[in-house]
Amino acid sequence: LLEDTTSPQNKAYNWILNNDAYLSLLYPFKTAADNTTSTPTEENEKALTQRYILTLLFFETNEFNTWDVCADLNTNDDVDECENVEEDDTRRFLSQTSECDWYGITCDVDGSIVSIDLSDNGLRNTIPPEIGQLSSLQHLILRKNRLSSTLPTTIGLLANLEILNLNNNRIEGPMPTEIGSMTKLQILDVGKNDMDGPMPPEMFTSSNLEYLDLSGNDFVGPLPTEMFTSTINLVFVDLTGNPIGGSIPTELKYLTQLASLEMGSADLTGTLPGEIFQTTDIVTSNRVTSMLETLSLEGNSLNGSLPEELFNVATSLRILDLGINDFTGELSENAGNLLQLEQLLLWYNNFDGSIPSTLGSLTLLEIMSLDNNQFNGTMPPEVCNLVTFASNSGGGDAGSLIFLASDCKDDDEEDNMPFVECSCCHSCQ
pLDDT higher than 60, residue 393:
no
The pLDDT tens digits for 125-154 are 999 999 999 999 999 999 999 999 999 999
Interval 285-312 mean pLDDT: 96
* DSSP string for residues in 198-260: E--GGGG--TT--EEE-TTSEEESPPPTHHHHT-TT--EEE-TT----SPPPGGGGG-TT--E
Cβ-Cβ contacts under 8 Å for 400 (sequence gap 6 or more)? 363, 364, 365, 366, 386, 388
Q: Tell me, rounded to whole angstroms, the distance of Cα 288 from its chain centroid.
A: 26
Q: Using an 8 Å Cβ cutoff, are 65 and 127 in contact?
A: no
pLDDT at 99 over 60: yes
Closest CA to 404 of 369, 371, 429: 369
* Residue 32 confidence (pLDDT): 45
Give the Cα separation of 107 and 128 in Å (integer).
Answer: 20
CA angle 298–302–306, rounded 5-degree value: 95
pLDDT at 89 over 70: no
Percentage of the chain modeled with pLDDT above 70: 87
Distance CA 276, CA 280 (A): 9
pLDDT at position 3: 75
Does position 79 have pLDDT exceeding 80, yes or no?
Answer: no
According to the model, what pLDDT value does residue 45 have? 80
CB atoms within 10 A of CB 292: 25
Residues 15-70: tens digit of each pLDDT: 988 888 887 666 555 444 455 555 566 777 888 899 999 999 999 999 888 888 88
Q: What percent of the chain stands above pLDDT 90?
A: 75
Q: What pTM value is reported for the model?
A: 0.91
